[in-house]
Amino acid sequence: MIATVGQNRTNSIGARPGVSTDFCELLTTTRIVRTLVAALCVVLGLCSLVAVAQEVHVSSDHGAVTLSVAAEKPYTLMASGQPKTPVIAIVCQQKGKKMGHVITFSAGGILTEQEFSTFGNSASLLLTVRLGKQKLSTNWVAYGNVETFTYYGKTEQERLAFLHALLDAPSVTIEFTPFLTGAPTSSTFDLTELRTEFDKHPECGAK
């Protein structure tokens, strides 16, 4: 009788009536594993968010600093099957006490002739640019070759406004049409790291 009472007391303290100690241990272990898995998923999710940001490539030549960002995804020219990755860049150069800035866009290939406008004295493009909720019609003129174009604002204030719009935007999308396909396409650039890199270089000191 005494042993039976002692055993009943042990069961009432160590586990619920009708539930074995092994089952309780298994249930506790399962809960711990689920908690660890959930925490791991959160960590991996944060890591993936950090990895999304596009790296800013920095190069320097003859006193000019170029900050380049590649598009998030390449596009393919059907005729050749070669993937092309567009690049947007800011070229900074100090001229005396003034800072000069040039914004360039290269699609990685020749664009369709239908996009060439009559704006400016050289070959130029009229491209649609999306900055957040803004949809802008922008002018670009040839910059050294027929594959690279630079943003051409009508005034210095307009050029600086577009520059700061890029620096403050998390991303920008540029619409264009490759010559070899004739099919309109667009490329999106992650600019989240551009402002930080821009502020590191005295040549880019426009405030």
| Domain definitions of the chain by residue range | 2-52, 57-204
10 Å Cβ neighbour count for 194? 26
Distance CA 117, CA 114 (A): 8
Tens-digit pLDDT profile for residues 99-149: 789 999 999 888 875 455 555 556 778 899 999 888 999 999 888 777 899
What does the pLDDT read at residue 28? 59
Task: Name the pTM for this structure.
Answer: 0.69
Tens-digit pLDDT profile for residues 39-64: 554 444 444 444 456 799 999 888 89
Amino acid at 2: I
Distance CA 182, CA 113 (A): 10
Between 16 and 124, residue with greater pLDDT:
124
Q: What percent of the chain has pLDDT over 70?
A: 67
Between 103 and 16, residue with greater pLDDT:
103
DSSP string of the chain, one letter each residue: -HHHHHHHHHHHHHS-TT--HHHHHHHHHHHHHHHHHHHHHHHHHHHHHHHHSPPPEEEEETTEEEEEEE-SS-EE-TTT--EE--EEEEEEEEETTEEEEEEEEE-SSPBPGGGEES-SSS-EEEEEEEETTEEEEEEEEE-SSSSEEEE--SSHHHHHHHHHHHHH-SEEEEEE-BTTT---EEEEEE-TTHHHHHTT-GGG---
Q: Position of tokens 């060439």?
A: 116
CATH code for the part of the protein at 57-204: 2.60.40
